[in-house]
Amino acid sequence: MGLGLDTGIKRKHKPNEDHLLAIQGTLASNTSAQPFGLFVIADGIGGQANGQEASRLATQHIRDVVIPALVSDEKISEAQSAQLLLEAVQEANQSICQHNQMYSTDIGTTATAALMVGKTISIANVGDSRTYSYSTHNGLSKVTRDHSVVARLVENGVIMADDVYSHPRRNEIYRSLGHKTSLDVDMFTLPLEAETTLLLCSDGLWEMVRDPEIQEILATTLPDAATASKTLVQAALDGGGHDNISVIVVHIA
């Protein structure tokens, strides 16, 4: 499993509201060692209200729920890993809601997370950060669905797909961690196959680098995940982005 992660700080006079988490390891068992990986990107919402605290809380809480469960004596099966990730995101949401209630704040965050256990990849998503899959045979595919106003307008045929990059409401999302104690989390499951790549990113990447260019960069830089992540971030910076950029590239050899 090759890993590359990178960030680009575009808004020099504003806080970086993105947080990343990437943990790889091996689970010991009586029969064989089983690799695992936990990858999360959270993009805070709140600006002056300290959105970076929300994204920090989200990544920290997801880690603190998932990792102890994975390394406990009770073995987590591939089927159980999706439920574990779902519960971790929901508990992270509760933590941020409690923070808002305690400190009278209104912070929130997106979260896109992938948990690899055995031959299964579980993906959770809330907001407009994204997870993509890529392979040379199938190209680039967006796994997650944006919980944004513009995405809904596209789904309803009100605007064209390319309009999401320039629409005046492109920064509005209708689902995030921290704003409702009951949270719907989109869940996806993929088989973990050789020569497959996962890309997790904040909107700072995909708003500046369109999907065809993302695919081209992955095609020309993989299997070097570190080079892929740096090249993606640089492409977003070169595109003149006005947001922070967070990227995690995971290549399964």
Query: According to the model, what pLDDT value does residue 30 have?
Result: 61
Q: Is residue 11 over pLDDT 90? A: no
Band (pLDDT 50/70/90 cuts) for residue 8 is low
| pTM score of the predicted model | 0.93
Window from 161-165, 206-210, 225-229, 238-242 with minimum mean pLDDT: 238-242
Q: Please state the rounded mean pLDDT for residues 174-188.
A: 95
What is the number of domains present in the chain? 1
Query: According to the model, what pLDDT value does residue 59 have?
Result: 97
Mean pLDDT of the chain: 89
Predicted confidence (pLDDT) per residue in 185-218, tens digit: 999 999 999 999 999 999 999 999 999 999 999 9
Query: According to the model, what pLDDT value does residue 183 have?
Result: 95
Band (pLDDT 50/70/90 cuts) for residue 24 is very high
The percentage of residues in the chain with a pLDDT greater than 90, rounded to a whole number, is 66
Query: According to the model, what pLDDT value does residue 199 have?
Result: 98
Band (pLDDT 50/70/90 cuts) for residue 171 is confident
Mind giving me the DSSP string for the chain?
Answer: -EEEEEEE---TTS---EEEEEEEEEE--SS--EEEEEEEEEEEE-GGGTHHHHHHHHHHHHHHHHHHHHHSSSPPPHHHHHHHHHHHHHHHHHHHHHHHHHHT---EE-EEEEEEETTEEEEEEESS-EEEEEETTTEEEE-S---BHHHHHHHTTSS-GGGGGT-TTTT-BS--BTS-SS---EEEEEE--TTEEEEEE-HHHHTTS-HHHHHHHHHHHTT-HHHHHHHHHHHHHHTT-SS-EEEEEEEE-
Q: Is residue 174 over pLDDT 90? A: yes
The percentage of residues in the chain with a pLDDT greater than 70, rounded to a whole number, is 92
d(CA 180, CA 182): 5
Predicted confidence (pLDDT) per residue in 113-167, tens digit: 999 998 899 999 999 999 999 999 999 999 999 998 888 898 888 888 888 888 8
Q: Is residue 13 over pLDDT 60? A: no
Q: Greater confidence, 60 or 48?
A: 60
Q: Greater confidence, 128 or 72?
A: 128
Domain of residue 205, CATH code: 3.60.40.10
- Which residue segment(s) compose the domain that 130 sits in? 2-252
Predicted confidence (pLDDT) per residue in 88-110, tens digit: 999 999 999 999 999 999 999 99
